[in-house]
Structure 1
């Protein structure tokens, strides 16, 4: 996803001006550079760590220390920095004081779940989503005329790539059917390998075509305008975003530790699902391309109205802005605002935003079970009294549902388990350690591997 040609009206980042107050934000972030899917286990590389960390530094600056910082977000306790000798003291029952080590560093709770484990090792992430109707919908892409035509027309193109990838793939597997994993292997090699077999084949036009075919392949699996269930990954995320930002609104005037900044990590498939459902290709056709490593999309809640002292603006005065950055964000390459839902404005009212996401958001475990067609395990409680067997109900693993928006920072890491957990912490602030916690009462998030949670404004 290159985003080299932006609409003139959107070419400049919509920055907060003097009359604007930023009240909260929700970030969905892709992991950084990694090893290829075709050679599991997939691991984040040093470059990947660096990409995510650099992006984290940018967002920390944007939301904690810049002139557009989030209103009420505690710069001393937010995002888990060391809190110093005074704040890092705990008084025990016997009256003695215990000082936290390393200048009062804070412990970040991390909840690990089994659902979606190893998802980044799958060629297609939908395989680990657990949503049976989503998988059935994606599989229908393989019977579409678009897929069949490309499978036939691209046959000769992929045959010429066999000498490049035959150390990993059998010649019979080098087809449009495996467009993404073939592209992925070549892309990783282009980044990391000093030499590539038959590299003379990989001319710039060939590399571009390999990427373009992968884009088409993955878009077809992630989104279909006539079948929204194919975008179930984002339907769940949409519900989490609404829940989180709504909690920012409802608790914003009651507590200085209200939810201010939510951060979630995931894979490119969720980006694609969102791009389709939010009609972003209408703003820029490049949204139909795979987002690069460490890409991020942000939903900012803000107001142009005056903020009452010790209070919160009226809901009617709230607006939401969507921003996206392809690849690692930085002060020299910042996110850009785009209009949602096929509109023209880069800022819309909270009511319009909530209505737009609400049309397809999965907001509860029951909703997830019903839409996905899962009827066993956790979903058994919501199954019809006498269910008619279907492919979805017969094969559903069942132990799935949407995750709770625990604490102030949500970090649902779809990929790379512990390694991405470390990367998430690096994104927030370096020098911290992880504490494993049991999964909270709500069901595990489909396609998720870990959740980092904590109060973004109060520690």
Structure 2
């Protein structure tokens, strides 16, 4: 039967050590490793077997299987925190999703056929999302309210109790940290250092006691869940998930639109949105074993399907890294089956942070990430009035436009029209020859667009 399309959220692959400030989550430089590249290619190949294989029950109806069609795909990657690791992971994943093929070729006028480089490598566009330009994939950085949330977590009785319980283990761990702080506030960095070296440093892996890595992982899970979740669905602790929600629901609505060729959306992200989204949708409550940091190259798949009555439903699946051989179906919000798309969108909109202006208010941010030009919702006073041509006021010639001068202007216009020199032109924006205007959000969401049928047929 196949499906309408899918939105995929994928975590990046293995990388070098990645330091994050425990109080602000500002980051240091890191790099994707060859292992990480291989993990992402493997994930891409798995997704190809699920969604681009005509024999798969999850085959996306009408999608091009061998040659990537730009109108059918939308790929976005966080290009902030992890120094290009996430964007590079997206490139690697796409190599597995749409591998090189000799069909990626062009026949020239002289009869010569040219196959793309590297045996037909396919260059699929990736939108790199910069934190300074969009809050979508990294809503937690430079957010004062989120920093306050982190501090409240560190000051909570729950955290202090855990710090006391883990004190002995953290002291035993100190010789393996090479001068790094061993307090619970620094637990993410402790775990990341141990995990990276356990994978890449043979001597370190040999010396580390058998249970230390898993104990550190458990404490890191406790730490990151406390930071990137919240008791309230619309709480600031869920900000990493709340800011990505509009792009998810928007993509699903586009896929559900039969006039839109979009069929597969990939958003390459860090682990933080996973934690928040699992909390918002009730996955953590229903599946306690998923209450932790997802593995490298993990993926959430949101599959759109039609039932026998023609209603559109959403099926959620999760694959925890490359060690999982297949997807695992998850049920959202306590449901025991697929959820209607309308219900999913409605519930998500209740928690979503849609746009910079709302983010500035939620985060109590007044200066960075575009908040300095927000309205009085953030600044506390209205945006200064900027005179415009259309307003007809605040100009030295405004008095000339008064009612007492209208008869004069009417007579002058009549004289010009009489001599054939006065023409009224329909307003039109200037346009360079051969160039189309840049599409806006309305192009995709508000204005019905008709596309050639071949894009839905996979030609």
- Global fold match (TM > 0.5): yes
Structure 2 distance, partners of 1:373, 1:278, is 25
- Deviations along 1:310-351, one digit per CA (max 9) or x if unpaired, are xxx5xxx11001111111277xx111011111x132311111
1:187 has 2:187 as partner? no
Residue range with higher mean Cα deviation, 379-388 or 213-222: 379-388
Q: So what's the TM-score if we normalise by structure 2?
A: 0.67
Residues 163-202 of structure 1 mapped to structure 2, 5 A cutoff = 163-166=175-178, 168-169=179-180, 173-196=181-204, 199=207, 202=209
1:127 & 1:23 partners in 2: Cα distance? 29
- Distance between the aligned counterparts of 1:143 and 1:127, measured in 2? 23
Q: Distance in 2 between matches of 1:37 and 1:270?
A: 17
Q: How many residues align?
A: 347
Q: More deviation in 20-29 or 368-377?
A: 368-377
Structure 2: distance between partners of 1:176 and 1:241: 34
* Equivalent residue number for residue 61 of structure 1: 49
Cα distance in 2 for partners of 1:228, 1:277 equals 10
Equivalences for 1:258-269 in 2 at 5 Å? 258-269=261-272
Q: 1:164 to 1:81 in 2, by over 3 A?
A: closer
Counterpart position of 2:375:
383
1:335 aligns with 2:327: yes
Partner of 2:238: 231
Aligned position for 1:218: 224
Name 2:362's counterpart in structure 1.
371
Q: Is the 1:89–1:104 contact (alpha carbons within 8 Å) kept by the matching residues of 2?
A: no
Residue of structure 1 in register with 2:392 after alignment:
none
CA RMSD of aligned residues (A): 3.5
- C-alpha displacement at 1:183, in angstroms? 1.2
The residue aligned with 1:145 is 157
| Residue aligning to 2:447 | none
**Cα 1:198/1:110, change in 2 over 3 Å:** closer
- Corresponding residue for residue 358 of structure 1: 349
Q: Which has the larger radius of gyration?
A: 2
Distance 2:121 2:270 in 1: 30
Question: Offset of 1:193 from its aligned partner?
Answer: 1.5
Mapping 1:41-80, distance limit 5 Å = 41-65=29-53, 66-68=55-57, 69-78=59-68
Q: Which has the higher contact order (CA 8 A, sep 6+)?
A: 1
Distance change >3 Å, CA 187–CA 82, structure 1 → 2: closer
Deviations 1:199-238 (A, max 9, x none): 26x232x332211111101100001114621111111211
Residue 345 (structure 1) aligned with residue 326 (structure 2): no
Write the distance in 1 (CA, Å) between the matches of 2:357 and 2:107: 43
Deviation at 1:74, TM superposition (A): 1.6
Instruction: Decide whether aligned partners of structure 1 residues 268 and 164 sit closer, same or farther in structure 2, where only a CA change above 3 A counts.
Output: same
Give how far 1:378 is off. Answer: 2.6
8 Å contact 1:133–1:229 — kept in the other structure? Answer: yes
- Find the residue that maps to 2:332 and give its secondary structure: coil
Unpaired runs of 5+ residues, structure 1, are 1-19, 118-124, 307-312, 390-438, 443-454
- The match for 2:416 is none
- Is 1:322 matched with 2:329? no
What is the rounded CA distance, in whole Å, between the counterparts of 1:97 and 1:287 in structure 2?
A: 54
Q: Give the match for residue 148 of structure 2.
A: 136
How far 1:289 sits from its partner (Å)? 1.3
TM-score of the superposition, structure 1-length normalised? 0.67
1:424-439 matched pairs, under 5 angstroms: none
Aligned mates of 1:260, 1:339 — CA distance in 2 = 22
**For the structure 1 residues 269 and 164, does the alpha-carbon distance in structure 2 shift closer, same or farther, using more than 3 Å as the test?**
same
Compared with structure 1, are the counterparts of its residues 359 and 157 closer, same or farther at alpha carbon in structure 2 (3 Å cutoff)? same
| 1:186, distance to aligned residue in structure 2 (A) | 1.1
> Could you tell me how far apart the structure 2 residues matched to 1:97 and 1:385 are?
62
